[in-house]
Every structure is written in structure tokens, then in C-alpha cells.
Structure 1
Amino acid sequence: MTSPNLPSILVVGGTGAQGRTVVRELVRDKKYAVTVLNRDVCSPSAVALSALGNVTLIPGSYETEKGLREALKGQHGVYVNFNSFAMTESMEYFWTFRLYEIAVQSGVKRLIYSGGNNRPRAHRYAEEYRCSHQATAGRLAEWVESQPLDLIKWTILDGVVYTEMVPVILRPLVLPDNTHVFAAPIGDGLIPFAEVVTYGSASLKGVAEAFERATGKKAVAKDVSQDVWFEAAKARRDPDAKQPTNIPVTSAGDDTRFTFRQSFGAWWNIWKALRLDVEAINEAQELADEVYPDRLKSVEDWMRATGYTGEAKAEA
């Protein structure tokens, strides 16, 4: 249960990879209480959040009017991070709009939207850059930005790739001589990584070099084609199955759904085209130094802090 004297923040997606960390950070200094709406409040992830203290679990769904109204009632703020892989694009648009409207009706004071830049737009919406979750979050971030501040004060986070995804998307192939090969279809591009309190960028070569420094193991970077990368990914998932996978078979032809290959092929294209912007990075680092001076500042820092040694990790 939460303390009635603390302002309460609703965290949408509180049991997800990002949401769990947001909940922990909000209750860590005991300045906020947190509410999490979850279909299964007895799930291990939900119970773990409850054990943090000052966390209230409400059974229900964000994809219902009833769930949103009950969850938003009495909240000071709301942190929004829908799982783009568990709902169709059209439903993510609709429920984000409804969440905002019901938040206004409920008297919520601040909305934080975990979105990002509309990166497909930067490539003039060419189909090879249509990464579904990037496009959806980018469009919705622009919509939130257009809303008047006298309704709800808003903040938009430019979300990037979790450092925790390194063991998933960049799981290295270990050669007989114990050389770790980090392979990805990224060429000379960059991947912007983020741990909870850090943002940074790294090339594929930079990841391999950071791994060598952090572990003392030999590592090399290898640019591969998307076909090769997706063939390796087949061991973990069917790259041509449409997402989300929990949609009835009768919706198999729904063009609002996308395959892992379609969306992540575009995802890799976006990072392959990304180039170093020293001025923008320096500005971001200065702000991060001011807000989070003790953060992990690089992929190498993250590897050392977590003891990462090249082991693979299952996708959440």
C-alpha cells in the first residue's frame, strides 16, 4: 500500500523493462507513491514491485475505459510507456489519446511520455525506415507536444536502446579461440544506448572495443547483412510472424500489424544511417552531468558495473 501523504504517480507499463526501473527510482527516495495497473497483480513482476513499498497494484487493463479511469483517479502525474509489441499501432494511438483525455478529466497535473524523435520522418518516410515502434512513438510524441500546457504539463523523453539489450540484440558469437564476434547489419552507423540514468552512443566497433577493455577477452566487430542477422534470430523467434502474436487468427491480414523482420529491419536501417553529432552529444552530456552526475557514462561503464562477460540473454 502507499502512503496517503505522498503524491502518486501512475506508471503505464510498470511491469515492463523500462517501467520497473521507473517505479524503483520513483519510490527510492520516498518522495512519491506509485500506482501500477496490471492484468495480473499476482504475477512475479507485479509482486516484486509491491515489495518495494509505496506501490499500489490495481487489477485491470489500460486498453479499457474502466481501467484507465480507475488508475488515473487521484493521480498527481502519469508516466506513459505502452508496449508497442503487445498492441497494434492503431490501438496504441487510440489508447494514448484516450489516456490523455481521461487524465485531463481526472485532474492529473503532469504527463511524462516515453516516446522519442520521429526518426522515420527524418528519412522522408521511406519504407525501409518504417520501424513501427519508432514511428508510432515519434508521431505520438509530436501530438503530445502540440497539447496546451494549461491542460496538463508534459515532458517527452527521447527513448533510445537499453544497454540491457546488448546481450540480446548484440549477443556475440564465441569462436574456438574465445574471440567474441559482435555482428550486426549496421555498417559504420551508431546505436544510441541508455541505462536508467545515462545516455550515450556507440558504434559496433566501439561495443567490441568496450567489451575487450571491460573483460580482457578478445572481441571483434563484424558487419553482416540483415538476412544473416535475421537467420541467426530465428533461434529466438520467427522473424516473419506478425506482431503482436496474441491477436486472433482472423486478423492475420491486418496491415496495422508488422513482422519482426519489417520493423527491426527498418530499426537497423535507422541506426546504420546515424552519424556522430558531436555538438548534440556534448549538450546532452552537459545536461546529464547536471542531473545525474554519478550515472554510468558509457557502454563500457555498464559492462563493468553489471559484470557482463558476453553471455546471451533471453528477450523479455
Structure 2
Amino acid sequence: MSRLKLGQGWAPYVLLSPFVVLFLVFGLFPILFSFFLMFHSWDPVQGIGSMEYVGLDNLSFAVEDPLVWTSMKNTLWLAVASGLPQHLVAIPLAYLINERLGSWRNAAMGVYFLPYITSTVAIAIMFSTLFSTDYGAVNAMLQALAQSSWLGSVLPQSNIDWLGQPGTIKPVVALVVFWRYVGFNVILYVAAMQSIPRDLYEAARMDGAGSGRIFWFITLPQLKPMMYFGVTLTVIGGLQLFEEPFILTGGKGGIEYAGMTTAMYMYRTAFDFNDFGLASAISWMLFVVILLLTVLTNRAFKTRGE
């Protein structure tokens, strides 16, 4: 009987052990090892014996490295330029889908969600083709408009090197990120709208409120918790942006590093330059920035009096 009781008491821990082991090995250990590496100089090619304690030298070098701040500015620009429009478009679009499409709602949600589950490599290749200098559809469309309408005086007369100029790299990357993630936010907001009691809408309509006032005074306030969740995910994801700019710029950040994000520079520092100590210092700097902006997001959505 005692053995049976012991087995029953340990059963939850045995069932949880696979997750705990995987988290310790692939979650907690890399975090702690990264923090440890921040204070060391280490070239992994030379083995663990080459690790040398350097104190705060890595962090000091990262703070003084102009490329770190260039990549940080690019990251913040892309996070704002791609993240803010996502929610400004997703909320009214979700409202239209939820209120107007009826039985077509699920089909529309599936179409908008498709870019989110599509391979990032496939998306980046598609947009690289669209924005190609010589054969891209975007340049072809602009040239056709310039030759056949009054817009010819304001449109460029020659093809634009979208991914080869500092002024156009970031807008293209931001467009790709926006296109990929706006559908994810639409799904979030549609799900939140479906949980709003219909009695609120019926009472508002009985009082003579139109669609605009219902959206502004009922739907938006009820969406605040989901908006907080969605914006927080956008902030964290935008500051960790890596795949889209990495593929679109060939992994180098583009000309004058205009498309270099902090995550890209951290990756290049570690795997191109074999300086894992400096890369760890950059990663912890990025962690601090994400933490601060997440706290600011929390305060922005915090209800007065809480």
C-alpha cells in the first residue's frame, strides 16, 4: 500500500518531467550560459578551454560600438513602421469581418491568416521578386503608370533599386512584416469581438446609436485587454525581428547597414566573427530594451486607478 501511495504521489512529477527536462536543457541553460558568456571572451572553434574572463569589457565595447546603435535604431524604426499599422488596420478590418461577412467570416479569417503560417523564406523570396530592380512587378507597375497617366510627373522615370538603397530597404522590410502579421492580429480581434455580449449592441441600436458610435464606444473599450495582448506581442516580436530582413538583405543588412536589425547584428557577431561574448552582451542589451518598452506598454494600457 505504501508503494502504491508513493507512486501516486510521484505521478504528477513523472508526467511533468519531460517538459521540465526540455526547459532546463533548451530554455534555462542557454539563458544562464549567455549571461555567463557576457563576461568572457570565447572563440568556440578553439574549444571551451579558450574561454577568458574579461569582466565588463564586452558590454563596454557593445555600448561604444556604432553598429550596435545603428542596428538598434533600425530595429525601433521597423518595429514602429510595421507594428503600429498592423493594429490600425486589423481592428477595423476585424470589425467588418465580424459584423458584415456573416457565413463568410471563417473563410475571410483563413485568407488573412495564411501569410502568418507561410514559410518566411517563401515570403521573402516572393517579395524580393516583386521588388526586383529590373524584372519586379512593382517597378513595372510604376513605369506603366508613369507612361500612361498624369502621375508621370511625380513618379520615377527609371526603375528603383528597392533593396539596394538605404532609403528604401526599411520600408520594404516593414511592408513584408506588416503583410505577414496583420492577419494574425485580425484573428485575435475577431475572437475578442465574438466574446462581447450581443446585448450591448442591441441596447445601443435601440437607443439609436449608429455603427460608428457602436464601434467607438462599445467595441473599442471591450477590446482593450486584447489590444494590450496584441500590442505587447508586436513590441516583443518587432524588437526581435530577424528572418525577414536577414533574407531580404542577404544576411548582411543591406547597403550602409540600413536593414541591419539588432538580432541580425548579434547573429553575425556570434557566427560570422566568432565573438560569442560580445554577441551575448548585445543580446542582454536588447533584452533590457524589450523589458523597458514592455513596461511602458503595460503602463499605457493600465486602467486609471489600478
* TM-score normalised by L of structure 1: 0.21
> Who wins on radius of gyration, i.e. which is larger?
2
Greater strand share, structure number = 1
Larger helix share, 1 or 2: 2
> Highest relative contact order (Cα 8 Å, sep 6+), 1 or 2?
2
TM-score by length of 2: 0.21
